[in-house]
Amino acid sequence: METVSIYFRQTDAISLTTAAILLIMSIMTWSVILLKYGDYRRQRLAERRFLDWFWPQPTQNQVLAAQPNHALIRLAQTGLDIARRCARSSRADELDAWVTRALRQALDAESAALEFGMTVLATVGSTAPFVGLFGTVWSVHHALLALGNSGQATLDQVAGPVGEALVMTGAGLAVAIPAVVAYNLFARANRLRLVALDGFAYDLHAFLLAGMPPPHRTDPTPADQAVGVIQPAHAERG
């Protein structure tokens, strides 16, 4: 801590600006990490409860009236709403097209929402080391100029300022490493979430059009008429 204090007392405006940029990058990185991690945990818990609730029990009105606070409920509300509005006035193939289109648009919206903060993490992870390196180079240059002007260049006089300048390189790495690790972890989590959302959308699509429950359910329940006014497509043709 004393070394850092000495460094900042000896530095100039450019080095201080570089240090401020690294500090801002670090704050942005950890803000994104905490926000995304908290949102991920909250949505995972809410989605697990929703899946336990959605298939066995609720009616269409219950689903549509629920608070859309996670991706699965938003997908369910989108599918149920479009199917309810089109079921009576559309043929089976038209209903299929409308439901597929609505669910695909909803999935695209959820995919875009998952990208929140990823650009920040990628940018910080790729640029922070170079910002730190720039700060180090400038600080070394500044230190050597000061030593040259003093007319003395003994080893102990050079080693101190140069060593203190290397703090910038360490700061750049300290900012970049959490950003890179977080980016990779969140990118994997996003891929897994999209797979889960695709699976739910497929189950919902099959259910709305053909009354087919998900594979893990065998006996019809009130959820097999979850939309109330929506019947399987083959029933409409009959």
pLDDT digits over 163-177, tens only? 767 888 899 999 999
**For residue 229, what are its two tokens?**
């006014």
Mean pLDDT highest for which of 2-6, 185-189, 196-200, 223-227? 185-189
Nearest partner of 178 among 1, 32, 17, 42, judged by Cα: 32
Domain boundaries, the chain: 2-212+221-227
pLDDT score recorded for residue 36: 94
Taking 90 as the threshold, does the pLDDT of residue 122 lie above it? yes
